[in-house]
Amino acid sequence: MTLGLLIAVAASLWATHQICVGGPTYTKIIQGKDLVADILPPPAYIIESYLEATLALNGAKPIAESVITRSSLTPARCASSAARSGMMPLRPPA
């Protein structure tokens, strides 16, 4: 009876150590999350692709042809900056 209780307590402590914050399982989860964050593009790229798709659907000129700037920004960055600042609607009017 005592041996069974000791085994149960030892298994419980081992499992608690494995899943606690800073434990081996937690470290694997954090490493996986960091890997996905390094692989996926930043959210601004998602906005730019949505904007390009919306313009293509409406038959407008692509951003690269319609935005002319003398600054060092590329046309796609100008469009995403304008979209983030609220100067350019992301969705077509309903």
Question: Is 50 in the same domain as 79?
Answer: yes
Number of domain units in the chain: 2
The answer to the question of residue 93 being in a domain is: no
Q: Per-residue pLDDT tens for 45-86?
A: 778 778 888 888 887 776 666 655 545 455 555 555 555 555
The answer to the question of residue 92 being in a domain is: no
Question: Is 25 in the same domain as 59?
Answer: no
Tell which phi-psi region holds residue 22, choosing left (phi > 0), alpha (psi between -120 and 50) or beta: left
The answer to the question of residue 19 being in a domain is: yes
When pLDDT is averaged across residues 34-40 and rounded to a whole number, the result is 87
The beta-strand segments (E) located in the chain are: none
The answer to the question of residue 81 being in a domain is: yes
Question: Is 52 in the same domain as 19?
Answer: no
Question: Is 35 in the same domain as 68?
Answer: no
- Domain interval for residue 77: 43-85
